[in-house]
Amino acid sequence: MINEQQLTQFGFKFGRNGAHSARSMMIEELKELLFSRDETATKQDYEDDIVNFNILHKPTEKSRTLTFRHLVDLYGMSMDIPLFNIFRQWWELSEDSQPILALQLAVARDPILRNSASVILPLQLGEHLPRETVEQHLAHDDPDRFSPASLKSFAQNINGTWTQAGYLEGKAKKYRAQPKATYVNLAYALFLAHCHGLSGQRMFDSFWCQMLSQDKEHLFELAHRASLRGLINFKQISEVIEVTFPNIELPKVAQQEGEQ
């Protein structure tokens, strides 16, 4: 069984705090930053671009420093972190995949955002999501932890991220939408499931794949596309499923008991 210490080494984060106490997932800043550098860029390169060269056009040195800090908190921004490494290798394969891909990594690294998935994902298409519902969810385990103003701010950040990724739509009022996941998103979801020690059918039953779609056949279709493009090797014979990653160096994980 994979423990939190191992997952932390891969780049996952745990605990009670997360970047969404301060910002949304900052998709536009992330796109501009990654566009300016190839995948060999280092964490120091990104810091120079943001803080010293101000390519994100922030008004003050403090805002530039905070922006860099939030992006590192959300994404890692270092090829030494396996979750960011694969994310960066696949980032430019499909522009359509980028908002959900950013969400996938942010969910892996921000416990506050990850916990909000249990509110967002069960909503029916078109169902209204009052901000207060997210606030109540945040306050559920410890009602006195956050002030009303903080809860409102956190909920706005969380809703903003799910909106940027296409899971919510609307400005003043938020409604559930269904974004169009790509083969890149499915391959990354399978990678996240692999990091948890899952294999075969259990990968497709995982939170990471179910976040993309509840339709198993659609997930299999995306897996076939990812396989054709060389991101994964996907074999499906009746109920037996095999997924391997031929072109990336995977973190060493122990498969969960009962896996083949």
Class of the domain covering 111-176 = mainly alpha
pLDDT tens string 59-80:
999 999 999 999 999 999 999 9
* Residues paired with 176 in a beta bridge: 168
Residue identified by tokens 């160096």 is: 249
> Which residue ranges make up each domain of the chain?
14-109, 111-176, 183-244
Specify whether the CB–CB gap between 135 and 174 falls below 8 A: no
What pLDDT was estimated at residue 145? Answer: 83
* Total Cβ atoms within 10 A of residue 35: 11
SS3 128: strand
Report which secondary-structure segment, H or E, holds 240.
Answer: strand 240-244
pTM of the full structure: 0.94
CA dihedral 105, 106, 107, 108 (to 10 degrees): 50
pLDDT tens string 134-182:
999 999 877 888 899 999 999 999 999 999 999 999 998 999 999 999 9
